[in-house]
Amino acid sequence: MQAARKIERPEPAVDRDWWRGAVIYQIYPRSYQDSNGDGIGDLRGIIRRLPHIASLGADAIWISPFFKSPMKDFGYDVSDYCDVDPMFGTLADFDALVAEAHRLGLKVMIDQVISHTSDEHPWFKESRASRNNPKADWFVWADAKPDGTPPNNWLSIFGGSAWQWDTRRQQYYLHNFLAEQPDLNFHNPAVQNAVLDATRFWLERGVDGFRLDTINFYFHSAGLEDNPALPKEQRNDSIAPSVNPYNYQDHLYDKSQPDNLGFLERFRALLDEYPAAAAVGEVGDAQRGLDIVAAYTAGDHRVQMCYAFDFLGPEKISAPKVRNVLETFGREASDGWSCWAFSNHDVVRHASRWGEGEADRTAYLKVLSALLMSLRGSVCIYQGEELGLGEAELAFEDLQDPYGIRFWPEFKGRDGCRTPMVWESKAQNAGFSTAKPWLPVPAEHKVLAADRQAGDQNSLLEHYRRFLAFRRGHPALAKGDIVFLPSEGDTVAFTRREGNEEIVCAFNLGSQPAVVELGGSAGLQPLSGHGFSGKAEAGTIRLGAYGAWFGRRA
Query: Count of domains in the chain?
Result: 2
Based on the fold, state whether residues 264 and 214 are members of the same structural domain. Answer: yes
Which residues are catalytic, by number?
213, 273
Give the integer Cα–Cα distance in Å for 325 and 356: 23
Instruction: Please work out, in degrees rounded to the nearest 5, the angle formed at the alpha carbon of residue 509 by the alpha carbons of 503 and 512.
Output: 115
Q: Are strands 80-84 and 107-112 parallel, antiparallel or unpaired?
A: unpaired
Domain assignment present for 384: yes
CATH number at 437 reads 3.20.20.80
526 is a domain residue: yes
Give the CATH number for residue 504. Answer: 2.60.40.1180
- Residue 246 is part of which domain span? 23-115+189-471
Which H or E element spans position 270? helix 260-271
Note whether residue 307 is domain-resident.
yes
Q: Identify whether residues 265 and 310 lie together within a single domain.
A: yes
- Of 413, 445, 471, which residue sits at a domain end? 471
* Same domain assignment for residues 297 and 332: yes
Residue 204 and residue 102 in one domain: yes
In a domain, 129, yes or no: no
Question: Is there a domain that residue 354 lies in?
Answer: yes
User: Contact at 8 Å (CB) between 70 and 180?
Assistant: yes
Looking at the fold, whether 465 and 503 belong to one and the same domain comes out as: no
pLDDT tens-place values along the chain, 554 residues long:
344 443 444 445 688 999 999 999 999 999 999 999 999 999 999 999 999 999 999 999 999 999 999 999 999 999 999 999 999 999 999 999 999 999 999 999 999 999 999 999 999 999 999 999 999 999 999 999 999 999 999 999 999 999 999 999 999 999 999 999 999 999 999 999 999 999 999 999 999 999 999 999 999 999 999 999 999 999 988 888 889 999 999 999 999 999 999 999 999 999 999 999 999 999 999 889 989 999 999 999 999 999 989 999 999 999 999 999 999 999 988 889 999 999 999 999 999 999 999 999 999 999 999 999 999 999 999 999 999 999 999 999 999 999 999 999 999 999 999 999 999 999 999 999 999 999 999 999 999 999 999 999 999 999 999 999 999 999 999 999 999 999 999 999 999 999 999 999 999 999 999 999 987 655 789 999 999 998 998 889 999 999 999 999 86
Q: Name the β-bridge partners of 362.
A: none
Structural domain ending residue among the three candidates 409, 441, 471? 471
Beta bridge partners of 305: 280
Query: What sign does the CA torsion over 538, 540, 542, 546 have?
Result: positive
Q: Look at residue 177 and tell me if it is in a domain.
A: no
Q: Both 366 and 246 in a single domain?
A: yes
One domain, residues 514 and 418: no
Pairing of strands 209-212, 107-112: parallel
**Inside any domain, residue 415:** yes
Same domain, 386 and 414: yes
Judge if 484 and 402 occupy the same domain: no
Using DSSP, state whether 356 is helix, strand or coil: coil
Q: Report the Cα 264 to chain-centroid distance in Å.
A: 18
373 and 513 co-located in one domain: no
For 390-545, where are the alpha helices, taking DSSP H only?
402-407, 443-446, 450-453, 460-472, 475-479
Residues 6+ apart with CB under 8 A from 8: none
437 and 327 together in one domain: yes
Q: Are residues 383 and 515 in the same domain?
A: no
Which of 454, 471, 488 is the C-terminal boundary of a domain?
471
In a domain, 60, yes or no: yes
